């Protein structure tokens, strides 16, 4: 059995396909997979002892009420997040979920403002009206998970 891929309209000569019909890709790479954890030290130990991973960057992000540790994996990161305040969104997320788990996916973009405006122009809800400073000197913005297939998406510009 073989599977043949074809574009919509390939079988209809009345439909003209254009390469410019699709928007230019906004996402350039996966920047990180964020995992929310109640105990950052234990999570770092787990990744070190199980996979030999080491911390590439560690930072407290006061504005988000989290401490993060970034573990380098190829050209991406595993971002371990733990709350530093009970009122942080990560603290609430851990409580509501009942424990650790994948919190969000961060995608690299060439220009966070352009990517955010493209998302907003399509009518999707965002958590940030404008890009803001992120960790390690990045610029970031978040897309609401209800408009992103149930996944919290972070746009990351280096």
| The one catalytic residue among 67, 68, 103, 157 | 68
The alpha-helical segments, DSSP class H, found in 34-157 are 40-51, 89-97, 112-121
| The one catalytic residue among 32, 67, 103, 157 | 32
Place of tokens 């942080």: 88
| The one catalytic residue among 67, 103, 104, 157 | 104
32 tagged catalytic: yes
| The one catalytic residue among 62, 117, 144, 154 | 154
Q: What is the full DSSP assignment across 18-46?
A: -GGGSPPP-EEEEEEEEEE-S-HHHHHHH
154 tagged catalytic: yes
75 tagged catalytic: no
Query: Which has the closest alpha carbon to 56: 37, 29, 74, 38?
Result: 74
| The one catalytic residue among 79, 144, 157, 158 | 79
- 66: its two tokens: 């989290």
Which residue numbers are catalytic?
32, 68, 79, 104, 154
């Amino acid at each position: 059995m073989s599977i043949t891929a074809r574009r919509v309209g390939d079988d209809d000569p009345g439909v003209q396909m254009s390469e410019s019909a699709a928007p230019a890709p906004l996402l350039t790479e996966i920047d990180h997979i964020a995992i929310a954890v109640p105990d950052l030290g234990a999570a770092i130990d787990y990744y070190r002892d199980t996979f030999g991973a080491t911390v590439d960057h560690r930072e407290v992000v006061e504005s988000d009420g989290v401490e993060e540790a970034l573990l380098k994996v190829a050209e991406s990161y595993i971002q371990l997040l733990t709350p530093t305040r009970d009122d942080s969104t990560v603290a609430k997320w851990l409580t509501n979920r009942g424990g650790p788990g994948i919190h969000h996916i961060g995608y690299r973009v060439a220009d966070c403002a352009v990517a955010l405006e493209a998302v907003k122009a399509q009518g999707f809800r965002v958590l940030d009206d404008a890009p803001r400073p992120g960790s390690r000197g990045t610029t970031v913005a978040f897309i609401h998970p209800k408009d992103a297939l149930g996944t919290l998406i972070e746009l990351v510009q280096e």
